[in-house]
Amino acid sequence: MSAAEKSRPKLAVWKFASCDGCQLTLLDCEDELLPLASTVEIAYFLEASSAIGPGPYDLSLVEGSITTPQDAERIRHVRRVSRRLVTIGACATAGGIQALRDFADVREFAAVVYARPDYIATLERSKPISAHVPVDFELRGCPIDKRQLLEVITAFLAGRRPVVPGHSVCVECKARGNICVLVAHGTPCLGPVTQAGCGALCPAFNRGCYGCFGPTETPNTRALNAQLRRLGMSDPDLVRVYRTFNATEEPFLQASEEAEGDA
């Protein structure tokens, strides 16, 4: 190994309860993968490699939420061996779709799915990584956006603040030149309260945003809900629309509870 190789920063990718999609995003960077592999040492990435480079790691990307006692232990280890820890995707930043258990009785959930739920070791709640250990940066999305992932990695390499703004999807929607589906089609859209990053994908496909990047920096869900009701959404519809991939993010939780209270 040359001296240059030795000094390459070490990247690790970790998985907790998740669908693998966010770490797959890294392998989906077809044009950047080989340059990336020569810029950083991919020291731990089980999905892609059997090689296990020793820690500590300069940058750990963590996918998935914490749902088992063992994982609660394991994430502490990951934090210890990581200089920077960046969580990627709604599971890791908000508990993910599996956090819907938080609104139910997880024992009952287990009983629905498994004949012998007593074999299942699981926590009552699906928690984001930041609920267990300090996190240096959270990259949102279900799944994360490829360009944003590259931006976070290059920003960490360059020592700058990642350009991952907290504003609404509408900013990207307008920049992209989409027609507003909410105004022009009467389609309910969570874009005004959802953080940008996807490039305003859904409106580009004539669909309302369903909030997969979680809440913006200052979401006014009360005002949006009033408008969504005018567009014909019922309170149970509103509860469901906020309870998907980022259900336990505080503003979405409040918005769903508000609708539930009114229901």
Partner 1 sequence: MDVVVLQSLEPLIEALTSSGYTVVGPRVEDGAIRMAEISSGADLPAGVGDVQKPGRYRLTSGDDGMVFGFAASPDSAKRYTQPPRQTLVRVRDEAIEEVEQEAPRVALLGLRACDLAAVAVQDRVFAGGRHPDPAYLRRREALFLVAVNCAVPGGTCFCVSMGTGPKAVAGFDLAITELASPHRFLVETGSERGGEIVALIPHHPATSVDIDAAEEVSRTAASRMGRQVDTDGIQEWLPAAHDSPRWADVASRCLSCTNCTMVCPTCFCSTVEDVTDLTGQVTERSERWDSCFTLDFSEVSGSHVRSSGLARYRQWLTHKFATWYDQFGTSGCVGCGRCITWCPTGIDVTEELACIR
Partner 2 sequence: MTHKTVRLGGLSRVEGEAALLVRAHDGRITDLQLNIYEPPRFFEALLRGRSYDEPPDITARICGICPVAYQMSACQAIEAACGVDVSGPLRDLRLLLYYGEWIESHTLHVFLLHAPDFLGYDSGMAMAVHHRDHMERALALKKAGNELVATLGGRAIHPVNVRLGGFYRVPRRQELAPLAEQLRRAREHAITTAAWVAGFDFPDVQHDYRFLALRHPDEYAILSGTPTVSEGSTFPVQQWPAHVVEEQVPYSTAVHARLDGAGGYLVGALARYAINFDRLSPLARAVARDAGLEDVCRNPFQSIVVRAVEIVHACDEALRVIDAYTEPDTPAVPVEPVAGTGHGASEAPRGTLYHRYRIDENGLIADADIVPPTAQNQARIEMDLHELIAPRLDLPQAELARLCERAVRNHDPCISCSAHFLDLNIDAR
Partner 3 sequence: MHPMTPAPFRVRSRRPVRADTVSLTLEPVEGPCPPFLPGQFTMIYARGVGEIPISISGRTRAGGYLQTIRAVGAVSRALCHARRGDLVGVRGPYGTAWDVPAAAGMDVVVAAGGLGLAALRPVVRELVAHRSRYGRISLIVGTRAPMTLLYPRDLARWSHAGIDVQVTVDHPDHAWQGPVGLVTRLVDRIVFEPRRTAAFVCGPEAMMCAVADDLVRRGVPAARIVLSLERNMKCGVGRCGHCQLGPLLLCLDGPVVSYERAARLLAVKEL
Give the relative orientation of helices 235-242 and 250-262 as an angle to the nearest 10 degrees.
160
Q: Which does 212 bind (CB under 5 to 8 A by kind): ligand SF4, partner 3, partner 1, none?
A: ligand SF4
Which residues, numbered 133-192, are part of the site for partner 3 (CB under 8 A)?
158-161
193 part of the interface to partner 1, by CB under 8 A: yes
- In the complex, minimum distance from the CB of residue 161 to partner 2, in angstroms, rounded to a whole number: 25
Residues in the interface with partner 2 (CB under 8 A) total 65
Q: Which does 227 bind (CB under 5 to 8 A by kind): partner 3, partner 2, partner 1, none?
A: partner 1
Distance CA 151, CA 69 (A): 33
- In the complex, minimum distance from the CB of residue 168 to partner 3, in angstroms, rounded to a whole number: 18
Question: Which stretch of DSSP H or E encloses residue 138?
Answer: strand 137-139
Helix (H, G, I), strand (E, B) or coil at 45: strand
Q: Which of 160, 257, 262, 263 binds partner 1 (CB under 8 A)?
A: 160
Helix (H, G, I), strand (E, B) or coil at 136: coil
Q: Which stretch binds partner 1 (CB under 8 A): 4-12, 64-72, 83-91, 223-231?
A: 223-231
Alpha helices in 177-249 (DSSP H): 181-185, 201-204, 221-230, 235-242
CA angle, 262 then 196 then 78, to 5°: 95
Residues in the chain: 263
62 part of the interface to ligand SF4, by CB under 6 A: no
Q: Which stretch binds partner 2 (CB under 8 A): 29-37, 78-86, 161-169, 218-226?
A: 29-37
CB nearer to ligand SF4: give 119 or 205.
205
Measured over the CA atoms of residue 146, residue 24, residue 82 and residue 11, the dihedral's sign is: negative
Rg (alpha carbons) of the chain, rounded to whole number: 20
Which residues contact partner 2 by CB under 8 A?
Answer: 15-25, 27-28, 30-31, 33-34, 37, 42, 45-51, 67-68, 70-71, 96-98, 100-101, 104, 106, 108-110, 112-116, 119-122, 142-143, 145, 198, 201-202, 204-207, 210, 212, 237, 240, 244-245
